[in-house]
Amino acid sequence: MKITVIDYGLSNLLSVRRAFEYFGAEVEITGSRSRILSAKALVLPGVGAFKDGMAGLSGLSLADAIADKCAVGTPLLGICLGMQMLFDESDEFGRHRGLGLIPGRVERIPGVDTDGAPQRVPHVGWAPVLPPQKRGGSFRGTVFEDVPPGGELYFVHSYEAKPAYDAHRLADTVYGGRRLCAAAQKGSVIGCQFHPEKSGKLGLSVIHRYLILCEAAH
C-alpha cells in the first residue's frame, strides 16, 4: 500500500515514515499539490501551532486539495496538530479556520482539574485511551481494534479537539478528571491526538489498522 505523507514544514516526518514502513507500506513524503491529488491514502502529521499549520497548508495550496480528496472518500489520518486541523476552527492564539472535515472546534485544555487544583498544560506523557461512553465500551470495528480499553498512548498537546457530534468521537483520554477527545472519525477521515508513531506496540497497532482500512478502500 502506498501512503502519501503531507509535508508542509511542521512535521516529524522520519518517525512517521518508519512506522508505516514497519508494515511494508511504501511511503511518499511530499508537499506537491499534484502528488497529493493523485494519492491513494493520506497522512497529515504535525507539531506546533494551529495557525502556523493552516498557513503552511494554504501557502502550498494544499488545504482545498486535501478537502477534495476526502470528499471522494480518500482515507486520511491526522496526527496531533494534523488531527486538530481536521476540525472547523481553533482558538489557539486567536480564532482560526481549519479544514472543516470533522465538525467541531479546538480549545485550550483547562489549567485546573475538576477539583479546581492547578494542572500542567501542556498535557505530556503516556495516558489511557478509552472508548467513548456512547460506543458502549468497545473499540470493535475501529482502528483501535487491537488497543485494550485503558491501554496507554503518548500525548503532547495544550489544546483539545471537541467534536460537535458524539458519533464522530472515536476514543477518549482522561486528564485532570476530564475526558478529552483522543481520536475522532468521520467517514474515511480519522484524527489521533496522540502520536501513534511514538506509542510503542499499541501505537503501531493503530497504524496497522489504518493501513487495513486503506487497503479495503481500494
pLDDT at 55: 96
- From the CB of residue 186, how many other CB atoms can be counted at a distance below 10 Å? 18
Euclidean distance between CA atoms 146 and 166, whole angstroms? 22
Cis peptide before 122 (omega within 30 of 0): yes
pLDDT at 138: 86
pLDDT at 10: 81
Provide the terminal-to-terminal Cα distance of the chain, rounded to the nearest Å.
10
Written as nine digits, the cell of 22 is: 514497519
Euclidean distance between CA atoms 202 and 40, whole angstroms? 25
pLDDT at 112: 97
Which residue of the set 80, 181, 192, 214 is catalytic? 80
Annotated catalytic residue 197: yes
- Spatial CA neighbour of 86 closest among 103, 111, 69, 73: 103
Query: pLDDT tens per residue, the chain (218 residues)?
Result: 999 999 998 877 999 999 999 999 999 999 999 999 999 999 999 999 999 999 999 999 999 999 999 999 999 999 999 999 999 999 999 999 999 999 999 999 999 999 999 999 999 999 999 999 876 778 999 999 999 999 999 999 999 999 999 999 999 999 999 999 999 999 999 999 999 999 999 999 999 999 999 999 87
Assign residue 84 a region: left if phi > 0, alpha if psi is -120 to 50, beta otherwise? alpha
Which residue of the set 96, 123, 157, 195 is catalytic? 195
Which residue of the set 152, 197, 208, 214 is catalytic? 197
Q: Are strands 42-44 and 2-6 parallel, antiparallel or unpaired?
A: parallel
Per DSSP, the residues of 171-203 read EEEEETTEEEEEEEEETTEEEESS-GGGSHHHH
Distance of CA 176 to the CA centre of its chain: 21
Written as nine digits, the cell of 59 is: 501557502
Q: The pTM is what?
A: 0.96
178 and 162 Cβ atoms separated by less than 8 Å:
no
Annotated catalytic residue 181: no
Starting at the edge strand found earlier in the chain, the sheet holding 178-186 runs 26-30, 2-6, 42-44, 76-79, 189-192, 178-186, 169-175, 123-130, 152-157
